[in-house]
Amino acid sequence: MLDQPIPEPLRSPLLDSARASGVRHGFFTRAAGVSEGIYHSLNVGLGSGDHPEKVHENRRRVAARMGGDPHRLITVHQCHSADAIVVETPFRGSPPRADAMVTASPGLVLGVLTADCGPVLLADDNARVIGAAHAGWKGAFTGVLENTVAAMERLGAQRERIIAVLGPSISQANYEVGAEFVERFTTANPENERYFRASFRTGHAFFDLNLYTLHRLERAGVRAHALGRCTYTEEECFFSYRRSVHRNEPDYGRQISAIALEEF
């Protein structure tokens, strides 16, 4: 399989501007992998029901595109928490439970897996500190983004220099939620009402996770941008948990977004 094509990820012009300082990144789609069926084709989710050997090959391809060894592609056991950890070396054994990682160690590739939630890649290219966060509604609501920025600061980053880019995630038009969800957000802060648009179903609304995530990042004092790609509607490009639920499919794949400091 080593001679198979390696996927070309989506990139952000903002993070591309940091490449002069040695920051490499990519928002990978589901293309150019080896998985089949509902996991077609670049499924990197070890927690999915896909064949493990296919998932490992897909992860090898991602690592190769990022210029690193597969063992230095770092992912955590994501659990929709607000926890951000510092990573200095590859994990031994099972990965820790967390939803964001930061590092100042060149050669490590930080990856977050998503299938509707928001992947956020962050960099202070001056300090050579990077981060990657998995921001679903719960993580964003409970502070995973702010904790990621704070963890980067502890490694020497300055929040006013940090660039944060939100990758492909579900759009408001496809993210319908119930009354309890709306109440949770508006009770915490009445201004959160701006992130909801009424649904045709009584008691339901459409939630703008993308805008909510961007505003949380901006309030944390970083420069934030979104790619504006929808995982639900762009089926050829992305896996989507919600789309799989609507189709009564037994499982779903996960795409990866990754960032690394190049070794000089």
Helical residues (DSSP H) of the chain, grouped into ranges: 13-16, 52-65, 137-142, 144-154, 179-188, 209-219, 241-246
Q: Which two tokens stand for residue 128?
A: 């050579």
**Of the candidates 77, 178, 74, which has an alpha carbon nearest to the alpha carbon of residue 130?**
74
pLDDT at 84 over 60: yes
- Strand-pairing partners, residue 10, are 27
Q: Is residue 212 a contact partner of residue 140, using CB atoms and an 8 Å limit?
A: yes
Q: Where are the domains of the chain?
A: 13-261
Residue 205: φ, ψ to 5°: -155, 165
- Strand-pairing partners, residue 113, are 256
pTM here is: 0.97
13-261 to CATH, choices 3.30.565.10, 3.90.1300.10, 3.60.140.10, 3.30.200.210: 3.60.140.10
Q: pLDDT tens for residues 90-111? A: 999 999 999 999 999 999 999 9
Q: pLDDT tens for residues 119-159? A: 999 999 999 999 999 999 999 999 999 999 999 999 999 99
Mean pLDDT, residues 55-78 taken together: 95
